[in-house]
Every structure is written in structure tokens, then in C-alpha cells.
Structure 1
Amino acid sequence: MNIQKIIDRRKLDEKMPDLPWYVQQFMDYKLPDLSPSTLLEYVRDYEAFFSWLRSEGLSAGDTNAQVTLEELETLHMDSITGFRLFLSTKSEGSNSRITISRKLSSLRSLFHYLSQIAEDENFYPLLKRNIMAKVEIKRVHKPKDTAAKLKGKILEEDELLEFIGYIYEGYGQDLANNKQALYSYELNKERDACIASLILNSGLRVSEIVNLNIDDLDINNKLLYVYRKGNNDETFKTPVYFREQSKDDLTLYLSLRHTRYRAPKKEKALFVARPNGSTEGKRMTKRAIQAMIIKYAKRFGKPYLTVHKLRHSFATDYYLQNDIYKTKEQLGHASTETTEVYAHLTDKTMSQAIERRIETRTDSAD
């Protein structure tokens, strides 16, 4: 059972009544093919768009659920241009070009469904005119651009070990005068270090960490069985290897899991937390793990470090010893295009090409 998927599906169901009926129909159409997490992103994009339509007087609806198909049909290109401008300049924080492109893609998917796939009772398209078909969305998420943004914002070489070591000891030294924070730290440091170690030694996503059960761990063979992103087969878990260091960190955490967190036998989660006032441990949430890494990263002197950047840190380090195809499989990428980020981050491809050129010249001279 994919726990994170269940949580995201619950959130998706909670949001549905606040959206127009045709969006709910679109979600039902997409659900077999896309994860609830992806659909939640779609929903957030639609919420922003419908709220903007109402604020601009382009919809007479009092709520997002009341935005009509007729109002979507009568939108002009100026309206879409205005929404794009709103996304790039809104006061609470402008979106990056990549984020704007993704939001427009979400809208285009909805409009395409309404105009090309969905039908009314007379077999006519639900949407007679599709303004989003005129919108050109340029590809801006290029591996080289992503790599440039990650430069200097991931852990490199010895920093991987130093960060784990900091969670074990350094953070506690920095908290010496804060007894309340120190108590929580002493309770959780082995678990927290183990989570960071596992990401930095396997490249797992935070959702994959959250979903891990004790039974998914084969510690002797340094293997984990995980639900991979994009795989909707609930009966199959992908085997993922982790490095030797995580074996020691996992062994230490497991020796403390029951006594520290008092997790009941029915709780199968590998990583658990015991909330204040609770007598039993329960599965950690994605948000708790994300906040935990940020907390340590700030004190470590890397305030830009996140769970996902830990994954990038592992991937960059792993790619230095392996080819792009092995890196792709280890990370669970759908294509090598995503994995190309690490080629740009390490400049490995270019350096290898130069070395081969030098070797060729040397051989020719001989």
C-alpha cells in the first residue's frame, strides 16, 4: 500500500467539491494514468486560474466551482497573456519561467480534454472553442539550465559524510543552551541521521522514504523495495540498492526504533515519529521529513539544502562512478533526459571526451 498516494488521494477528494464539475470529470479521466500527487498540482494550478478569472471579472462566479464552460469559451488571448503576466509578477512571489510553463501546460491539458475528448449528451464537445490551443509553451526545463541552478547548492565529496556526522553530533553542540530543543534532538538524532544517510546513499525520493515499511528492507543485501514514482502497479515494488554506510545507520536506528518510539506492532512504517502527548509512534509524514532536513541544513551552513537536493547530491556523486544508464535506473527516472542534469553538473562527459582525444593523439604519435 502506497501511503503517500493514499494521503494525496484524500487531499484530492477534499478539494474536488470546490472546483467546477467539468474539472472533477477531468480528474476522473486522468486518475488511472497519473498519480494523485501530480493531479494535486493540476488542481492547485486550476484554483489559481479560476480565482484570477473571478478577480478580473472574467467570470461571474462567486466561487471557483461556479466558473462556467461558456466563460472559458469566450476568453481572448489577452486574457491568457494577462494571466501569464500575473503569474510572473504577483505580489506574494513571482513564479519562475519553468513554473509558469508547467501551469500553462496544466491548463492546456484541461482545455484539450474539454474540447477534444469530453462530450455532452448530444455527442458534442463540452468546450466549443479552445483558447489554449493557440498558446505556445516553450520548453524551458532543460538539463543544462537545471544543472546551472544546482551548482553550489548540493553537497559534494566530503560534505555528504560531514552532513550526516553533523546530525549525529554537531547539531547537538550548537544547541547546548537550548534544553527543550536538545531533548527533541537527542530523541531523534539517530533516526534523522539515518534518513539523511539513506537519501545520500541511495537517491530515494522523500515520498519513497515515507512509504517504506520494515518489510521492505533487506539489510544484509543492502536492498530496499520501493514504490517508484509513475508506477501505478500497486503490486510491484522496485528493488533499490543502498551503500554500505547506510547499512550501519539503519542497524543503529532499528535497534532504537521500538524503545524510542513505542511503535505498535500494527505500525509497519520504517521511519516513525512520536508526536508530543502521544503514547505510540506512527509513520512520519513527507512534510515532517522535509522540515527536518531544512532544520539541520540551516545550522550546517547550507540554508538552500532540501530533501530533493540531497537526492541531487547522491545522484551527482553516483554519476561520477557510473554511466548515465545505471544512474537513471538507480534514481528511477523515466528517461535519460532527466538524468542528463548530472552530466552537466559533473562535466564528466566533456572531461572524458577530452581525455579520449588526448589518448588518441598519443597513440597516433607512437
Structure 2
Amino acid sequence: MDVLSKFLDFLLTNYQSKHTVNSYFMDVCQFIEYKKTYIVSEQDINAYILFLSKSKKSPLTIKRKLSALSVFYDFLKRSGIYNFNLSGIVRPKSPKSLPKFLDIDETIVFLEKINSLRDKAIISLLYSSALRVSELVNLNIEDINFSNKTIVITRKGNKQMGVPVSPKTIDILKNYIGDRINGPIFLNKSGHRLTTRSIENIVKKYARKSLLKDISPHTLRHSRATHLLNNGMDLRILQRFLGHSSILATQVYTHLSLQDLIKAYDAFHPLNKND
């Protein structure tokens, strides 16, 4: 029985997922076909990574193939066939996906299509103050300063800070709260505080209805941050507004802004227009 047959038996014995067995076996077969042998060095593996990269394989695909090779060479070592360790091989980093966000027109349409006063207050506040959904559900009426148009929220690490609220959102909150003077701001039909899941369902319901999109409350936070940055807000001020402990977390919005710029450039460049 050759090495690949033994390896396939090993996979079938140790992995329940047929998909994993097939993927790992095919990845190893492709590598051996590329190298013509399983006797390798770190230089050989790095050359293979470069080959895959030049072949336009994604970082995720390359990482999966390296995982398959790690299992294969661990199997060879345990079986006393060949001793080689991939632990020194540097895996490619998977690119972080940029957060979804709505453009200004979509945001306006989204807010205008909400017919429930409570839901309008929820979505307006999520967007206006770029709140995390956990920060919103924990808000009490006592946390609102109507005259200063601010709210006090509890950020990560139990840190409290004041956050500005748009005048329009303050008016919506006033109308929704009515005569209540304390307790949770946002209530369900039973008079209890809304849950995170409830808020997520509310946002998704209106987004599907008005935008035909599936978004989350966090999309509104990303949207607000992107709109503020595009309109000239300093990155350091945006960092404080969002409650990011590191400026690195805030810099993702510069990439979003650049994407907008590229799209606008492509759309209005004269050479891109049809005659």
C-alpha cells in the first residue's frame, strides 16, 4: 500500500466529514503532483505557497492547503515514514472584510419608511449616535439629557461616556417616551426591556422591506461612522465618538471612504462613460 492510500485510510478513520476527507486528500495529492515527492524542506513549502499565490489562490484556500499538508506530515511522522514539521511555515493572513454600510440616500429611505414610533426611535438612535446594540438595549430614560442633546452610555469595559444625539432623534425620543420619567427606554408589548435579538429583528425587518437588504444594527454604526468621516470629521474625534480604544480600529473607515472615492471616480471619469 503506497503512502497516499495509507493517508486516505487515516483520514477516513479520523475525520467524520466527507468534505474534509476529500479536501485534505485532494490538496495533498495536488502538492505531491506539483513536487513529485513527499520529501520536502521549508524552502519547498514556501515555494509552493508562492506558486499558489501566483496562481491567484485566495489566502483562505492557501491556508486550507497548508492545513492539509500539516495533517499529512503529522501522519507521516506518527507512522514512522518521514519526519518533517510545518510549524515553522508562515501562513498567509486572511484579509479582513470591510464592514457593510449604507450610503446617505439609502439611510434616508430606510429612516423614512419606519411607521412605528418606537422602532423609528430605535433605528434613529442607533444611526445618530453610532451605538452598539448592547449599548442601546441597556439605555434608561435617566441616561438622556434632552437639553444638551446627549446620552450617557456604558461602553466596553464598563466605561461610561456621553455621546451626542441629533436634534431630530431627540424629538423622536421625546414623542416615544411621552410621560415616562425613568426605567428602560425601549419596551416590548409586555412593558419589559427589549432584548438584543429583538432589536436585531426590528432592524432586519425594515431593511428587507425598504432596502431589500439584510443588514444588522452594527451596519447603522458603520454607516454613521463612514458618513461622518466622509464629511470631514477628524479621525481622532471619530475614534472617541465610537469608543475605540485604538486608532487602528477606527482606520478601517478610511478604507471605506477610499472605496467610495474609487467608485465615484470610476462613475464620473469621462473615459468610463458610453458615447
Structure 2 length-normalised TM: 0.59
Match of 2:250 in 1: 339
Match of 1:140 in 2: 94
Q: CA deviation at 1:221?
A: 0.8
Give the SS at the match of 1:272.
coil
Write the letter of the residue equivalent to 1:194.
Answer: A
Write the letter of the residue equivalent to 1:222.
Answer: K
Match of 1:248 in 2: 171
Q: Distance in 2 between matches of 1:216 and 1:339?
A: 26
Going from structure 1 to structure 2, the CA distance change for 1:272 and 1:347 (only over 3 Å counts) comes to same
1:290–1:306 Cα contact (<8 Å) kept: yes
Indicate which of 280, 300, 310 corresponds to 2:210. Answer: 300
Give the SS at the match of 2:98.
helix
2:98–2:256 Cα contact (<8 Å) kept: no
Match of 1:214 in 2: 141
User: After the TM superposition, which residues 257-336 of structure 1 pair with which residues of structure 2 at under 5 Å, given as runs?
Assistant: 268-274=183-189, 280-321=190-231, 322-336=233-247
Identity %: 30
1:77-123 CA-partner distances (Å, limit 9, x unpaired): x99x97xx9xxxxxxxxxx95xx99xxxxxxxxxxxxxxxxxxxxxx
Write the letter of the residue equivalent to 1:140.
Answer: S
1:222–1:243 Cα contact (<8 Å) kept: yes
Q: Distance in 2 between matches of 1:252 and 1:287?
A: 24
CA RMSD of the aligned region, Å?
A: 3.6
Structure 1 length-normalised TM: 0.45
1:224–1:240 Cα contact (<8 Å) kept: yes
2:130–2:221 Cα contact (<8 Å) kept: yes
Query: Unpaired runs of 5+ in structure 1?
Result: 1-54, 59-77, 86-95, 102-130, 169-188, 259-264, 275-279, 352-366
2:153–2:162 Cα contact (<8 Å) kept: yes
1:320–1:348 Cα contact (<8 Å) kept: no
Q: CA deviation at 1:199?
A: 1.2
Query: Unpaired runs of 5+ in structure 2?
Result: 1-11, 28-58, 65-84, 263-275
Q: Distance in 2 between matches of 1:215 and 1:311?
A: 23
Going from structure 1 to structure 2, the CA distance change for 1:337 and 1:140 (only over 3 Å counts) comes to farther
Indicate which of 163, 186, 191 corresponds to 2:110. Answer: 163
Q: CA deviation at 1:248?
A: 1.3
Going from structure 1 to structure 2, the CA distance change for 1:296 and 1:135 (only over 3 Å counts) comes to farther
1:58-94 CA-partner distances (Å, limit 9, x unpaired): 8xxxxxxxxxxxxxxxxxxx99x97xx9xxxxxxxxx
Name the count of aligned residue pairs. Answer: 192
Match of 2:150 in 1: 223
> Computing the radius of gyration over CA atoms, which structure comes out larger, 1 or 2?
2
Q: CA deviation at 1:161?
A: 2.5
Q: Distance in 2 between matches of 1:165 and 1:349?
A: 24
